[in-house]
Each structure stands twice: as C-alpha cells, then as structure tokens.
Structure 1
Amino acid sequence: MTTTSNSKTKTRKRFIAGAVCPQCKALDTLALWREDHVEVVECVKCGHHQRQTDEQVNKHVRPHEQVIGIFHPE
C-alpha cells in the first residue's frame, strides 16, 4: 500500500513474522518493501539490507504456482 505526501510516494514497510536477520541474528526485526520493482529487506536493529529483483524471484517459480516473495538469508 502506498500513501502520497508532498508529491512523494511512500511505501509502507511490512515486517516478516518469525524471520531472523542473517547478520545480527535478531528475531522479528526484518522489514520488507518494494523500491522500483525490487524487493528490499532491512533489519531495523542493525541496518542490514538485502535486495531481490522480480527476475530473481521468477527463477524460483514452479509451474502452476504463484510466489509472493522469496527471502534468502546469507
């Protein structure tokens, strides 16, 4: 969902329940949003960022399935 304020578009960040940050190992601190058709995941505790394009997500789609998003902690 997006909201418009002062002619800029802001994207609402969503938290990923049960996710663990790959860098600081904190639980329930990962926020997910989209920027320019790229999924961005950020840890609100340590600031770790990870980006994934739609093309990377589509590589993992099997026939007759839909993918909301894939997160690969490193």
Structure 2
Amino acid sequence: MPVRKRFIAGATCPGCQAQDTLAMWRENNIDIVECVKCGHQMREADKQAKEHIRKEESVIGIFHPD
C-alpha cells in the first residue's frame, strides 16, 4: 500500500525557502516532512519515544520489531 502524503498549506521550506512545497507523511511512527522542490527532509519521532531521550541526545530512528 503506497504511503499517503499530505501537503502543508502555507508552509515554507527551511532549505530553499519555497512556499507550499512541503509534503508530510508518517513512517514507522516518525513524522517525515519533505520539500518536493529541493528534497530537504525533517523527521520527528513520536512523543512516547522522545520521553526516553536525554536532552543532549537526538534520535535518528526508532526500531519497532513487528
């Protein structure tokens, strides 16, 4: 099943400054936002995972065995 991407109306890409080019989808409990113009990506882990991270560290990804 293909991933359903949604555009974020009025949002500006932090990479190329283009407006209305950011698409968002959820993959493995991580929100991904990508600019369809320049390819800039931002990822954010879910709230439950963030609670287990120390302030000095960042998450690359979270493994969820099925």
TM score, norm. by length of structure 1: 0.62
SS of the equivalent of 1:10 reads coil
Higher strand share: 1
Q: In the alignment, is residue 34 of structure 1 matched against residue 26 of structure 2?
A: yes
2:10 match: 18
Query: Unaligned stretches of 5+ in structure 1?
Result: 1-8, 60-74
- 2:18 maps to 1:53: no
Count of matched residue pairs:
50
Give, in whole Å, the separation in 1 of the partners of 2:45 and 2:7.
Answer: 19
Aligned Cα root-mean-square deviation (Å)? 1.7
> Deviations 1:37-61 (Å, cap 9, x if unpaired)?
00000000000000001128x77xx
Query: TM-score scaled to structure 2, two decimals?
Result: 0.69
Deviations 1:7-32 (A, max 9, x none): xx321100000000001000000000
* Identity across the alignment (%): 60
* Structure 1 runs of 4+ with >3 Å offset: none
Match of 2:36 in 1: 44
